Structure 1
Amino acid sequence: MTPSVTIVIPTYNRALVLPQAIEAALGQSHPKTTVMVVDDGSQDETRAIIARYADHPGFVGVSLAGNIGTAQAKNVGIALSTTDAITFHDSDDLPHRDKVMRQARVLGNETIGAHPCLNWRLAGREPETRIQVGGVLSHHELILPDGERVEIRRTLSLVDDFFPNLQMAAGVPGDWTHVNSGLFHRSVFDRLGGFLDCIEEDREFRNRLIMAGEVLWVIPEILLTKIETPDSLTQLGATDYDSPRRIADRKRVWDAVGRWFATREVDPVPIDLSGITIRSCTNPALCDRAALSGMTPLREQVA
């Protein structure tokens, strides 16, 4: 059965680009799609934009009282969603109309099996048994601030933290398969938890999936356009690829891979929302009520 999907869009002070991301998400061809924007304490017009869509039956606008960071905003989306699968789009992402539908059909395919030509026991599975795909990725493209269009198609980059020796002839560093916009089966989060609170949260989550033996399926087509702007995280001096903060987080990720090589153990990342204050929620009927009630409410609370 084709799974229902929540598109989680974490956002912080991106009011100028957020409407097009919401429109593209609401315009997905997959009929069982919920769009959840998690406003991470924005100080611009983000809440006014969310209010425009408050009456849409497939839209949820969650406003947090303070800025908790992208990783934790994604964790809020995981905890509040009630669908079979979850994908994460940035506020400058434009998914192609059939992106979610194509990913969902792969995730719901019950005929995928562990072919005996591969060493499935190494990933904790038996040959000739059914496989539940954990995540479905696709290729994507970037539109850079100077107008350059870059196609991102290097699937080999999924294991660059494990086998850097394989990357030498693979193209320009940073030419990666985008994990953030993958569609993930809910059971993956049940097993492995959510996102680690750092700015390399996608990379760390990708590595945890691989180390835990989750099955990742790649659709070898461009199904997402990312519009990079000067205020994107990868463009800002404080958080770009050469920033001290990102370098420190990258070392943290590499250290975790080193521990896995030594122990073959994978620690889940529990989702803890106890210290997070929610300002408002436009459509609580589409949210997990237990998770919603577990977050500290403000007086304006849930609409």
Structure 2
Amino acid sequence: MTTPLELSPQSTVTICIPSYNREDLVGKTLDSILAQTWPAWEAIVVDDGSTDASMAVVSEYARRDSRIRLLKRGRGPKGACTCRNIAVEHAVGRYVLFLDNDDLLAPFALAQRVQVLDDNSRLDFAIFPMLLFRGEPASADRQWNIDTGEDDLIRLLKLDPNCQGTGTLWRRDSFVRVGGWDETLHVWQDIELHLRAFTSGCQYTKRLDLPPDTY
């Protein structure tokens, strides 16, 4: 195991990962986190009742690096939203980022995102560009969180996902204040969360001029 890192809440990003039966991919997600140039992070994987070997994979990563923690969903309802909220409840970091267990971060992702929020204390969250790939990241051919010039709230009401959850970095206090993920939903969770954020007066920015940092 690595020497335990003293994590300051003021500088730490908590990466929240719900996980269910992804033994073939979750290790790649964790590898992309370990490759970050920003060292002040913790990754909390919340198991949603996996029946494959994925939790054994995560346990081995946690054994090797104390910044990785594995939790089991201890309450209902089952689903990714519940797991994400549980991770936030155990978070240390000032900032929270939500990844799925088949997502990958570019090595510069956390450093790029933290700088944006650190440079503007009034922001509750910031939205960053993402790329969609099939198979390997080199095949990425579609960008998410693009700007069309239309009002963001109008786009969400049209179910146009202009702020997919993985592309957002939140201040943890702001995320909690908005009310967290709606645990009754299994689709359109990102849209519902950001609708609440927009209509509650959250301050945000879109840094779609920056390089895509999530796949």
TM category, shorter: 0.7 to 0.9
Structure 1 residues 185, 153: CA separation in 2 closer, same or farther (over 3 Å shift)? closer
SS at match of 1:53: helix
Does 2:156 match 1:161? yes
List structure 1 segments (4+ residues) > 6 angstroms apart after TM superposition. Answer: none
Q: 1:202 aligns with which of 190, 194, 202?
A: 190
Report Cα offsets for 1:28-64 as digits up to 9, x if no partner.
1112111111111111101210121122121111123
Residues 242-297 of structure 1: CA deviation (Å, up to 9, x unaligned): xxxxxxxxxxxxxxxxxxxxxxxxxxxxxxxxxxxxxxxxxxxxxxxxxxxxxxxx
Gaps of 5+ in 2: 1-8
Aligned partner (choices 31, 40, 44) of residue 32 of structure 1: 40
Q: Does 1:57 align with 2:45?
A: no
C-alpha contact (below 8 Å) 2:15/2:43 kept by paired residues: yes
> Where does the alignment leave 5 or more consecutive residues of structure 1 unmatched?
113-130, 165-172, 226-303
Paired residue for 2:100, among 77, 82, 90? 90
Displacement, 1:216? 1.6
The whole-number CA distance in structure 1 between the counterparts of 2:145 and 2:180 is: 26
Let me know the Cα RMSD of the aligned residues.
2.4
Does the Cα contact within 8 Å between 2:44 and 2:71 map onto a contact in 1? yes
Q: In the alignment, which of 105, 118, 122 is matched to residue 132 of structure 1?
A: 122
Amino acid at match of 1:87: L
What TM-score do you get using the length of structure 1 for normalisation? 0.59
The corresponding residue for 1:104 is 114
Bigger Rg over Cα: 1
Query: 2:99 & 2:35 partners in 1: Cα distance?
Result: 14
Tell me the secondary structure at the aligned position of residue 161 of structure 1: helix
Q: Percent identity?
A: 21
- Amino acid of the structure 2 residue aligned with 1:35: A
| Residue type of the alignment partner of 1:137 | I
2:28 to 17, 20, 23: 20
Aligned to 2:3: none
Amino acid at match of 1:5: V
8 Å contact from structure 2 (residues 48, 73) kept in 1: yes
Aligned length: 196
Where relative contact order (Cα < 8 A, 6+ residues apart) is larger, the structure is: 2
Contact 2:12/2:40 (8 A) holds in 1: yes
Amino acid at match of 2:85: N
Distance (whole Å) between structure 1 residues aligned to residue 175 and residue 104 of structure 2 = 25
Structure 2 letter corresponding to 1:161: L
